[in-house]
Amino acid sequence: MDDFSSISLLSLAMLVGCYVAGTVPLAVNFSEEKLKLVTVLGAGLLCGTALAVIIPEGVHALYEEMLEGAHHHGHGQVETEVSEQKVVEGVVVQSGEHGHSHEQLHAYIGVSLVLGFVFMLLVDQIGSSHMHSSDDPEAARTASSKVTTTLGLVVHAAADGVALGAAASTSQTSVQLIVFVAIMLHKAPAAFGLVSFLMHAGLERNRIRKHLLVFALAAPVLAMLTYVGLSQSSKEALSDVNATGVAMLFSAGTFLYVATVHVLPEVGGMGSHSHSPGGSAGNGLSKVEVGALVLGCLIPLVLSIGHQH
């Protein structure tokens, strides 16, 4: 029951934190220029989070169990201060099943990322094919973009929830907390980025709140369902294939698609509509916007350094 109460508290914290972060752009009235800057910052946060937080966390979750195994079996006599790098080398050097599982994990990383990306690509294509019946193709594309961005982030949040549920089922508090911190590190900026993107896309505030609520609910609900739905035998099977890492990498693939294919091109297109002081309405972003984009990419990196293992 202790595990259940901890997953309940983590889920509640995730829901509240995510919703509050998402309401910040709604609560503050931004001018068009400031909104553009916030949207660019949000896009940077989405990209930086995918690359600097989720992928490393997923890879770490995949290798963690194997590293611990190598530490216990191959390095029993070595002092506990042995560096993670040496443990990795020990794993690589060990022949037979360890080498085999090492290659298997390498395959898991690529497959999970690509599947997440391809899944979102297919969802995007299905979504846009339904929109093509509209008379105005530009309006259809924008509507499709809004739906895909929200859907992509919801799928991503749901995968996060599965990761947290799977982590909770391992009964290791450290794993739960690491996964929770990693999820919160990118859920809050993702909520902020989603809302600022939808505001830029011209959605009404009530509809934005609905989108945000769906996004905020996805991870906690899936975390609870995963935890409750896993029987003991499933839990053992999951720990064998390291479902936490796979789920996080799959979610990283969906996140990368949303950040790079939807949000960044949308943000890049904004520069052509902006009236720069020099009078040249060039394609590209202004220097301040590029600075905001780079800052957005770097923030998750700095935050992730703060909770290195």
Q: What is the pLDDT of residues 181-191, one digit of tens each?
A: 767 766 777 78
Query: Residue 20 pLDDT more than 50?
Result: yes
If one counts the domains in the chain, the total is: 1
DSSP H or E run through 297: helix 287-306
The structure's pTM equals 0.58
Domain annotation covers residue 228: yes
Is 77 among the domain residues? no
pLDDT in tens, 192-211: 888 888 888 888 888 899 99
- The C-alpha atoms of residue 126 and residue 178 are separated, in whole angstroms, by 35
Separation of alpha carbons 146 and 262, rounded Å: 9
Residue of 251, 285, 269 whose CA lies nearest to 141: 269
Tell whether 187 is covered by a domain. Answer: yes
Per-residue confidence band for 51, with pLDDT thresholds at 50, 70 and 90: confident
Residue 80 maps to a domain: no
pLDDT of residue 243: 72
Q: What's the Cα-to-Cα distance from 185 to each of 181, 219, 241, 301, rounded to whole Å?
A: 6, 13, 25, 10
pLDDT for 213 equals 92
**Structure confidence at residue 280 as a pLDDT band (50, 70, 90):** very low
pLDDT of residue 85: 42
pLDDT tens for 97-123 read 556 567 777 888 899 899 988 887 887
Give the CA count within 13 Å in the CB-facing half-sphere of 65: 19
Residue in the structure block whose two tokens are 């499933």? 234
Residue 24 lies in a domain: yes
Q: Considering the domain boundaries, does residue 81 fall inside one?
A: no
- Domain carrying residue 238: 2-71+114-306
Q: How many residues does the chain have?
A: 309
Report the alpha-carbon distance of residue 157 to residue 161 in Å, rounded: 6
229, 235, 237, 240: CA torsion to nearest 10: 140
In the chain, % of residues over pLDDT 90: 4
Any domain includes 291:
yes
CA distance 16 to 22: 10
Q: Could you count the other beta carbons within 10 Å of the beta carbon of residue 298?
A: 14
79 is a domain residue: no
pLDDT digits (tens, 9 = 90+) for 222-258: 888 878 876 556 666 666 666 777 877 877 787 788 7
Q: CA 251 → CA 2, 119, 141, 267, distances in Å?
A: 27, 10, 24, 22
What is the average pLDDT score of the chain?
Answer: 73
DSSP letter at 263?
A: I
Q: Residue 132: which residues within 8 A CB-CB, separation 6 or more? A: 140
Give the span between the Cα atoms of 270 and 48, in whole angstroms. 20
